[in-house]
Structure 1
């Protein structure tokens, strides 16, 4: 079972002699930020990269206004999402997935209110590209420790 609002779409990798070209977002992408706005244009708050070292766990976080759009161009990431939204039809659903290369390159949308955390899935670092729909606001996000009892997941 999935989580309402979470979507993952495969992304195109184009092999070229000097190295691959990795797609992430286009104005015509069905997952683009603000896809339902009146102007229909691609609206971005910020784009940043985050490296996840092997053995490190970055968890838990959720946003009240910001939607995350993740792609992992290098390495493999294990992501865990948990729906604690009070009125969601998928409340209490836990979702574990892999994102990255070579076999799981895609764009993941994490909607507001969904808890998420991640770790490198192999002995190599993973590099996340986050294309958020709003600029970073430290007051907007909420954090829990990785070993919280509020989320039914134990990082291995």
Structure 2
């Protein structure tokens, strides 16, 4: 696996605004003026089934801005320089944006029944050559209660 010789910028957790409305709510995600904005490449959605974990993946150039508007997802961000894995629980009970700079390993797990929907507002368009994958067993993590 690649070793990064210099310190990485830290992941950033940003609380987001929800506007409740009787006809349907508005969930903010990302503005160009927000901390964590690093340009726009693409936006995509993925789902993860309750109890299933996707990952580990490390982007070499992409900065991810992750939002969970539906359900609940635990993101695990692993810094191979320190050996630490930090969990971030996002979703309806903790509506926030997780900004993950390139260079971190990341996995994520569906935590609630039904749909767990993740939106990634990525800084670059998908490029399979700029990301690496390793087996889920490579970095241990604890599942939040």
TM-score, normalised to structure 2's length?
Answer: 0.87
Aligned residues: 137
Identify the structure with the greater helix proportion.
2
For 1:76-155, what aligned pairs fall within 5 Å after superposition?
76-85=72-81, 91-101=82-92, 103-148=93-138, 151-153=139-141
| Residue number in structure 2 paired with 1:36 | none
| Residue number in structure 1 paired with 2:58 | 62
Tell me, what secondary structure is at the counterpart of 2:125?
coil
Equivalent-residue separation in structure 1 for 2:46 and 2:25 (angstroms): 20
**1:4 Cα deviation after fit:** 4.3
**1:155 Cα deviation after fit:** 6.0
Tell me, what secondary structure is at the counterpart of 2:75?
strand
| 1:45 equivalent in alignment to 2:50 | no
Q: CA offsets, 1:89-119, max 9 Å, x none?
A: xx21210120111x21111111111011011
Equivalent-residue separation in structure 1 for 2:127 and 2:87 (angstroms): 27
Q: CA RMSD in A?
A: 1.7
Equivalent-residue separation in structure 2 for 1:63 and 1:92 (angstroms): 17
- Cα separation, partners in 2 of 1:84 and 1:106, compared to 1, 3 Å: same
TM-score, normalised to structure 1's length?
Answer: 0.82
**1:125 Cα deviation after fit:** 2.5
Q: Report if the CA contact (8 A) 1:146-1:155 is conserved.
A: no
Q: CA offsets, 1:23-79, max 9 Å, x none?
A: 00112212212xxxxxxxxx2000000011112210100111111110000000011
- Cα separation, partners in 2 of 1:70 and 1:98, compared to 1, 3 Å: same
Q: Report if the CA contact (8 A) 1:72-1:127 is conserved.
A: yes
Runs of 4+ in 1 over 4 A off after TM superposition: none
Q: Report if the CA contact (8 A) 1:147-1:154 is conserved.
A: no
